[in-house]
Amino acid sequence: MAATLGFIGLGSMGLPMTQHLLKAGHKVVVYDLNADAVKAAVADGAEAGTSSADVASRAEIVFACVNTSQALIDVVLGEDGACHGDQLRIFVDLSTTGPPTELKVAAGLEGTSITLVDSPISGGKRGAIAGTLAVMMSGPDAACEEVKPLVRTFGKSVFRIGDKAGQAQTMKIANTLMASTASAVTAEVLVMGVKAGLDPNLMIDVFNTSTARNSATAEKFPAAVLPRTFDLGSMHAIVLKDLNLYLEAAKAVDAPMILGPAVVDMWEQSMTANGETADNSTIVKFMESKAGVIVGSE
């Protein structure tokens, strides 16, 4: 049955997720600080809200996808936050803001009738557009079950991580370190191979039929590095935000860290060279500049 939903945060992933909900027949009330993003959603059939509180006064289930911890806190608990809406029952956080922020939001909602579902996503802009995102979910059983059919409109795989706020965030940042490490090491070894005289296309083929296969060799580098398009739709500032959230979470539980800090350092150097908004696939350009070679063809 179609429902009236809310969606706050219409960035590169939020807007396509909203579009999937609209295509599924749901009425969606949206809000974003970017007026152009709101106009784009309205053009697709959404209704414009005037604030997070307004959205939460018009929809019982509200999704949010924002970039920073402070943005999430403002959206939920701020002066015009969703907690002040009189219709909201379930708030679904699709953002990646780390376990401490999620716990702070959960604490802020205690004593209200609003249930928090911690539900970060993975798959980037391409996955959001294609509706193939991986969705990690933690929260009370009833709320998660109610939300699950909705997230399946934009998520190919939905994983129940646990029943407590912060658990899905922990899973997401662990996934980010794994994926970012794969991209970093693939960039490094391809540059080495090219400098040694190997064909990068052949290297990728070998990796993908052997023990070295990973998400970078299987998808990201063939799609955006070898053809030199650099258009994965993700950017350095966001991946580094998530990587630093991983380091904070690992430190909080006193987990050993050896590779994590090295991976963060490489991404920081790449961002310094390429810029905060540079596509994540350009990490290979950072390595190329140090080696004096080009992977793929211009």
Q: Pairing relation of β-strands 121-122 and 133-138?
A: antiparallel
Whether residues 160 and 133 share a domain: the answer is yes
Whether residues 128 and 250 share a domain: the answer is no
Is 298 a member of any domain? no
CA 169 – CA 19 distance, rounded (Å): 24
Coil, strand or helix at 146: helix
**How many structural domains is the chain composed of?**
2
Q: How many helices, marked H, and strands, marked E, lie in the chain?
A: 13, 9
Choosing from 117, 143, 165, the residue where a domain stops is 165
What are the pLDDT digits (tens) for 11-20? 999 999 999 9
Q: Among 276, 63, 49, which Cα is nearest to 150's?
A: 63
Long-range Cβ contact pairs of 200-206 (< 8 A, separation 24 or more): 200/226, 200/295, 200/296, 201/226, 201/296
Q: What are phi and psi of 27, to 5 degrees?
A: -80, 130
Q: Among 267, 275, 238, which Cα is nearest to 14's?
A: 238
What are the pLDDT digits (tens) for 93-136? 999 999 999 999 999 999 999 999 999 999 989 899 999 999 99
Give me the domain span that covers residue 160.
Answer: 4-165
Whether residues 151 and 192 share a domain: the answer is no
Whether residues 139 and 174 share a domain: the answer is no
Choosing from 165, 180, 212, the residue where a domain stops is 165
Question: Maximum Cα–Cα distance for the chain, whole Å?
Answer: 65
Is 297 a member of any domain? no
CATH, residue 107: 3.40.50.720
Q: What is the mean pLDDT of the chain?
A: 96
* Sequence-distant (≥ 6) Cβ neighbours of residue 172 within 8 angstroms: 96, 120, 121, 122, 136, 242
CA 55 – CA 31 distance, rounded (Å): 7
Q: Among 213, 261, 145, which Cα is nearest to 203's?
A: 213
Whether residues 248 and 110 share a domain: the answer is no
Relative orientation angle of helices 236-252 and 99-109, to the nearest 10 degrees: 80
| pLDDT of 70 | 95
Q: Among 123, 160, 147, which Cα is nearest to 6's?
A: 147
Q: Tell me: pLDDT of 298 over 70.
A: no
| pLDDT of 296 | 80
Whether residues 160 and 185 share a domain: the answer is no
Identify the DSSP state of 233.
S
Whether residues 273 and 208 share a domain: the answer is yes
Q: Which of 152-156, 177-181, 294-298 shows the lowest per-residue confidence on average (mean pLDDT)? A: 294-298
Whether residues 106 and 217 share a domain: the answer is no
Whether residues 9 and 147 share a domain: the answer is yes
Is 156 a member of any domain? yes
Whether residues 25 and 140 share a domain: the answer is yes
Looking at residue 42, its amino acid is: V
Q: Tell me: pLDDT of 3 over 80.
A: no
Whether residues 258 and 279 share a domain: the answer is yes
Distance of CA 271 to the CA centre of its chain: 18
- Residue 2's pLDDT band (boundaries 50, 70, 90)? low
| pLDDT of 133 | 97
The mean pLDDT value for 200-227 works out to 96
What are the pLDDT digits (tens) for 233-244? 899 999 999 999
Q: What are phi and psi of 205, to 5 degrees?
A: -60, -45
Asked if 281 contacts 230 with a C-beta cutoff of 8 angstroms, the reply is: yes
Strands (E), the chain: 4-8, 27-31, 47-48, 61-64, 90-93, 115-118, 121-122, 133-138, 155-162
Choosing from 165, 192, 219, the residue where a domain stops is 165
The mean pLDDT value for 170-186 works out to 97
Is 296 a member of any domain? no
Is 192 a member of any domain? yes
Angle at 188 between CA 182 and CA 191, to 5 degrees: 135
Whether residues 13 and 109 share a domain: the answer is yes
What are the pLDDT digits (tens) for 54-98? 999 999 999 999 999 999 999 999 999 999 999 999 999 999 999
| pLDDT of 268 | 98
CATH, residue 244: 1.10.1040.10
